[in-house]
């Protein structure tokens, strides 16, 4: 299960409306950084047959089965703190992260 906060869902809906098309977003992981894995976000225009689909607050989130192993239980938020803003991930599978916060381990 993936959980989107209302703030994250609102931000994603705005992106999709400004873009003018899209079924939702895909969250995945890729090998990257000094800790091993990094989050990947991309728009979904065509649904893949193997996608797991989660819908909250009117937003569809697509995850491939390989990434779901690392992302099950993920909470995704959108926060603005001072001059910084962006998506924040709270992942119960995460055991550590690199010093710069760009990658994580499970």
Bridge partners of 81? 84
3-state helix, strand, coil in the chain (%, to 5): 20, 45, 35
What sections of 1-106 are H helices per DSSP? Answer: 6-19, 65-71
Query: What's the pLDDT score for residue 102?
Result: 55
Give the CATH number of the domain where residue 56 resides. 2.60.300.12
Cα-Cα end-to-end distance for the chain: 17
Query: What's the pLDDT score for residue 97?
Result: 59
Query: What's the pLDDT score for residue 100?
Result: 47
d(CA 13, CA 73): 22
pTM: 0.82
Query: What's the pLDDT score for residue 103?
Result: 45
The residue segments making up the domain with residue 98 are 3-105
Domain count, the chain: 1
Mean pLDDT in consecutive groups of 10 residues from the start of the chain, 106 residues: 93 93 91 73 92 94 91 91 86 62 55
């Amino acid at each position: 299960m993936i959980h989107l906060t209302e703030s994250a869902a609102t931000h994603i809906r705005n992106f999709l409306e400004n873009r003018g098309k899209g079924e939702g977003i895909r969250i995945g992981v890729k090998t990257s950084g000094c800790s091993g894995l990094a989050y990947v976000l991309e728009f979904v225009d065509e649904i893949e047959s193997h996608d797991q689909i989660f819908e909250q607050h009117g937003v569809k989130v697509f995850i491939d089965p390989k990434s779901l192993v690392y992302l099950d239980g993920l909470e995704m938020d959108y926060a603005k703190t001072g001059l910084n803003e962006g998506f924040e991930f709270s992942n119960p599978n995460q055991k550590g992260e690199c010093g710069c916060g760009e990658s994580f381990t499970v």
